[in-house]
Structure 1
Amino acid sequence: MTNFYSFHGTVTAISDFNPGYNQGCSKLFTLENELGSIVNFVVTPSTYFVDHEIVLVGDRVTGYFDGDLPAILIYPPQYQALVMVKDQPDQFTKVDHFDNQLVSSDGELKLNLSPYTQIVLTNGQLLSKYPGNRDLIVQYGPTTRSIPAQTTPYRIIVLCLTSQ
């Protein structure tokens, strides 16, 4: 179970990271939010970009990282990006651990599956098992006003991280 933390903002810079080794394979994305806070994300070939979107300077994105990993004490803070999500109109995305009842670890969202809910792995292949008790990327639209909010997701992407 990964303890996902996120930061949402506008990409202000993209540069090569660690240029001496595997030149061009890793990038440093600098994000700034509406309050002026800045975060750097190290983006590697293992970082999952939802819909394999190409992210450019000026795009609004959310970067997700493992909040339990140690972070170096520098400013701006720098985290290893696990998942990057480019903003899409009229669509929400939640990256979190969902229990066997498909309730997120923060208790804010419950998933109701339908026959039309697409459940896939990060490589695009269909999941052959129940998606509960896993780290998931959930793309959804409207929710109920209940606690937890409930939704029927458009798509669920299962993160089979090495820690699982």
Structure 2
Amino acid sequence: MYTNQYFFCPYPMNQDAYLSFNSSWRNITQKFASFSGTVTMIEDFYTGQNDSSMGCYKFMSLENVDMGIANFIISPETYFVNHAVIELGDKVTGFYDANAPIPLIYPPQYRAIVMSKNTESENVTVDYFNSELISSDGNLKLNIAPSTEVILTNDQIFNRYPGNRNLIVVYGSTTFSIPAQTTPYKIIVLC
């Protein structure tokens, strides 16, 4: 009885506009997500590979009063902002790929892309910034000054315009405008 039912739209549908909407929606979706908390555990993570990788991967557990617990897998590719050494009791923020599949376990477990030690004088965000240096969620606009350090993850100078890229941005205060504007101390380009 219900086997041959199809969705019917009584209004003409412009397929080009629909595809344009879908592609623009995908462009503004945030790729990175974060979790902030206090480090409660750091230990070696066994990857199941040969003995040469033993000790190269870490398992870090963060606890947050509001959101509970989250675990991060730290690999040799994980970037630590300011090359900070993280210890038990430090307040940190872990950034991960929001589009990556995660195991359905509690507490959640993420592969860390960037880790940052939280300080009162610096803010850190990881996001895609467009050609006008506005973040993918439209909440932050970067104003580059001559004093802004623009580098790669290996600390080499990046001598191109950093727009239309995934960036790690280290900055201080922001304006109260929409989007908030800031002049970053440092921009690390994720190539």
Under TM normalisation by the shorter chain, which class is it? Answer: over 0.9
Which residue matches 2:162? 131
Over the aligned positions, Cα root-mean-square deviation in angstroms equals: 1.3
Between Structure 1 and Structure 2, the one with more helix by share is: 2
CA distance in 1, matches of 2:59, 2:173: 33
Of 92, 97, 106, 2:128 maps to 97
Please say if 1:63 is aligned against 2:91: no
Equivalenced residues, count: 160
Partner in structure 2 of residue 106 of structure 1: 137
Shift of 1:50: 0.5
Distance 2:182 2:122 in 1: 12
The 2-side partners of 1:116 and 1:16 are apart by 39
Q: Which runs of 4+ in 1 moved over 6 A?
A: none
Q: TM-score if structure 2 supplies the norm length? A: 0.81
2:173 to 142, 145, 153: 142
**Counterparts in 2 of 1:97 and 1:36: CA distance versus 1, 3 Å:** closer
Determine which structure has greater relative contact order: mean sequence separation of CA pairs < 8 Å that are 6+ residues apart, divided by chain length: 1
Q: Which structure is larger by alpha-carbon Rg, 1 or 2?
A: 2
Q: Deviations over 1:45-99 (max 9, x none)?
A: 0000011111011000000000101100111110100000001221111111000
Q: Superposed, which structure 2 residues align to 1:1-164 within 5 Å?
A: 3-18=31-46, 20-21=48-49, 22-35=53-66, 37-160=68-191
TM-score (structure 1 length as normaliser): 0.94
Structure 1, gaps ≥5 residues long? none
Secondary structure class of the residue paired with 1:145: coil
Determine helix, strand or coil for the equivalent of 2:82.
helix
Structure 2 unpaired stretches of 5+: 1-26
Shift of 1:35: 2.3
Aligned counterparts of 1:126 and 1:119: Cα–Cα separation in 2: 6
**Alpha-carbon distance in structure 1 between the residues aligned to 2:157 and 2:44:** 34
* Separation of aligned partners in 2, 1:125 and 1:97: 20
Partner Cα separation in structure 2 for residue 142 and residue 35 of structure 1? 24
Matches of 2:63 and 2:104, distance apart in 1 = 18
- What amino acid is the match of 1:73? L
Amino acid at match of 2:123: F
Tell me the distance in 1 between the aligned counterparts of 2:144 and 2:92: 26
Residue identity over aligned pairs, in percent, reads 55
Distance of 2:89 and 2:190 partners within structure 1: 27
